[in-house]
Structure 1
Amino acid sequence: MNDIHSIQYLRGLAASAVVCFHISEQFSGPFAVGAAGVDLFFVISGFIMWVTTVDHPVDPQRFMWRRIVRIVPLYWIVTVLTALAIFVKPQFLFGHMLSPANFFGSLLFVPIMQDGSLHPVVIQGWTLCYEMMFYVIFALALLLGERQRFAALIGVLTAMVALNLLLLRGYPFTSPLMLEFAAGIVVGRLWMEDIRLQLVLALSLVVGGFLLLMTAQMLDPEMPRVLRWGVPATLIVAGAVFAERARPFSPMALFTFFGSASYSIYIWHVLVVVVVTGIMLRLGVPPNWQPALIAFVSISLSAMLYLAIEKPLTGYLNPSRAKSIPPVGQRSGSRLPSNETKD
């Protein structure tokens, strides 16, 4: 499938931001906003799931199988390697939790909870637990017609959050973060309805989203995450896709590659950062240079693991991929995002 290039770019940006966040955290740096890469991923996920399934029949079982093939094998590989690393060198992976219950629970996307949060063996894997819950809900919604599907998805995701606020406070799968998937679905529906914005307005949404990301934390540190980062992420995604519709552009191969590699960058980066940090220390790299060098090398190596492991693995497990675009994509005059995204 063809890509919406701006979505590819945002995927690469989101994964890289999370890497930089963890490295900044390791060095007590100021880049807390990098964690908002997760919120970008959630909005992108809702957008892509809607756009790639609307206006043409999609079997729920096939949909889930494609999601499982895309997410699970690599996640299991990284989980096993992380567990081995924790067992051999626990001091290098401080904060990770390894136990038989958490290991097998992590593999099934139901890890243990600590301090009210999911805590799988691969610590950044908590987001995949939310993703898989969203995929299950979306697969069930595929049994409905398009109009009923949209209403059901928004209604169910909203009801889950309402339950969290009223009855199930602290239960992770009803977190307000689920609204970020809903926001992506809304953007996706508007995009597939061939809505058009003037380029200036669309770019203003992108710029406004980034400004909100940078300032919301300072203005109100206690603001709920779905408002602090979810709203700006939605503005950025919406602005980017409508700006591209208003002014299509030729893709840059490097940025497109990092978008394709975003899942590998995200899922491998903690292990890779640990290894790269150890090498930097052994080489005696000056402390002031370490954060930037670790980030650059870690992102690059994680992207290479996409070529070495993820891409051939996914191709082997799912050799028959859709080769056509639904007519609505041609009607809109824009390109559809790949149905292989991590989101």
Structure 2
Amino acid sequence: MQDYISIQYLRAVAALMVVAYHILTANLVKYDGETGWLAGGVDIFFVISGFIMVQSTRDRDYSPAQFYARRIIRIVPIYWIATLAVIQNMQWEWVHAVKSFFFIPYLNPETQNFMPILQPGWTLNFEMFFYLIFGFSLLLREKFRFFAVAVCLIVLVSVGLVFKPAGAPGFYTNPIMLEFLLGMFIARFGIRLPFLCAPIAILAIPFLWEAVDHRELSLGLPAAIIVASSLTVDTKIPKLPFLLRLGDASYAIYLFHLSALGLVAALLGPYAIPPFVMILAGLMMASLAGLSIHHFIEIPMNGFLKGLYVRKMERRPIKQSVTNI
């Protein structure tokens, strides 16, 4: 599969959107305006995930076991490390730790939301469930995979809308699951929109967030438009090494940014720092932390685990690309 420069850039942007959201909502900066739309970085990630899963398995005979092994190696170890980094400073019970480590949604007594101990990990509960469904589709012929996953996701969301189940069933039937399907749709049918649609969607997000009560419409649909529009100019945009590295490190930035922001608060909080400087410091610290962890921990660890397990399972080695990030 080819490397998509636009996808890398969007990953960097999505991660920094989430960082900015938490800077403005965690009392690092006193800001009374609406910031919820910045959480749309998560929705961009979900659309990208659906897109990449289709693209990375196109014309390849992956078994579900091979697919799951690659996803687990990519997602789980660094997530466990991030969870261990924060668990010592929190009150938790062993059942919460087990559910957090194994991507089982539960009602966090501290936040009163379905969040694991590492709060950004709520999105990974959705990701891993999507991977579980998508992996089973690899048992089918390629032309049937998209439709099988689409039916499954639509049925799940429909059940949620009709029966409104509580607990984990309610979590897994959230309409936000349809954002993965939007990304799959873009990949399966080669959807490309005029690039002008991207800035229009970006400008519309804050207004849609205020006006539309359904996240999959106010944030998910614009995210899909942004992805489909960016792919149109993918071969024309320049390769900017720093942005590409930020895209590579976006997962580490996402996992560790709250710890980085805590450090910024400890260092700069006691002083009368202008809001703009505090925002810039938060973005820089989160980026630096993510880049460092990605380079010194994530890359060596993933390489070791792939060499130990995945490459022994697969007869055909697969070239390192954007699919592995």
Q: Distance in 2 between matches of 1:124 and 1:324?
A: 30
Structural mapping, 1:134-283, within 5 Å: 134-170=130-166, 171-191=170-190, 202-218=194-210, 220=211, 223-244=213-234, 247-281=235-269
| Aligned residue in 2 for 1:69 | 73
Question: Would you say the 8 A contact 2:246–2:287 is kept in 1?
Answer: no
Q: Residue type matched to 1:318 in 2?
A: K
Separation in structure 1 between the aligned mates of residue 145 and residue 36 of structure 2, nearest angstrom = 36
Number of residues of Structure 1 aligned to a counterpart in Structure 2? 309
Where does structure 2 lack aligned partners over 5 or more consecutive residues?
Answer: none
Deviates more, 1:34-43 or 1:21-30: 21-30
- Which runs of no fewer than 5 residues in structure 1 stay unpaired? 88-97, 326-335
2:264 and 2:281 in contact (8 A); partners too: no
In 2, Cα distance between equivalents of 1:2 and 1:156: 28
TM-score, normalisation: structure 1: 0.84
CA RMSD between the two structures: 2.1
The superposition leaves residues 39-68 of structure 1 with CA deviations (integer Å, 9 ceiling, x where unpaired) of 000000000000010122111101000000
Alpha-carbon deviation of 1:116? 7.5
> Whole-Å Cα distance in 1 between the matches of residues 12 and 125 of structure 2?
20
Q: Choose which of 280, 283, 300 in structure 2 pairs with 1:292.
A: 280
The alpha-carbon deviation at position 337 of structure 1 amounts to: 5.8
What is the DSSP-based 3-state SS (H/G/I as helix, E as strand, rest coil) of the residue aligned with 1:202? coil
Report the Cα offset of residue 311 of structure 1. Answer: 1.1
What per-residue deviation string (whole Å, max 9, x for no partner) do you get for residues 247-279 of structure 1? 533311111100000000000111121122112
What residue number does 1:101 align with?
95
The 3-state SS of whatever aligns with 1:63 is helix
Name the counterpart of 1:78: 82
Query: How do 1:22-101 and structure 2 match up within 5 A?
Result: 22-27=22-27, 28-29=30-31, 30=33, 31-86=35-90, 98-101=92-95
* Offset, 1:169: 4.0
Contact 2:105-2:171 within 8 A present in 1 as well: no
Distance 1:49 1:154 in 2: 13
Amino acid at match of 1:86: M
Amino acid at match of 1:136: L
Q: Tell me the residue number matched to 1:331.
A: none
- AA matched with 2:273: P
SS for the counterpart of 2:324 is: coil
Q: Give the alignment's TM-score, normalised by structure 2.
A: 0.89
Q: Distance in 2 between matches of 1:261 and 1:271?
A: 16
Report the equivalent of 2:6.
6
Q: CA deviation at 1:285?
A: 5.3
| Identity score, percent | 32
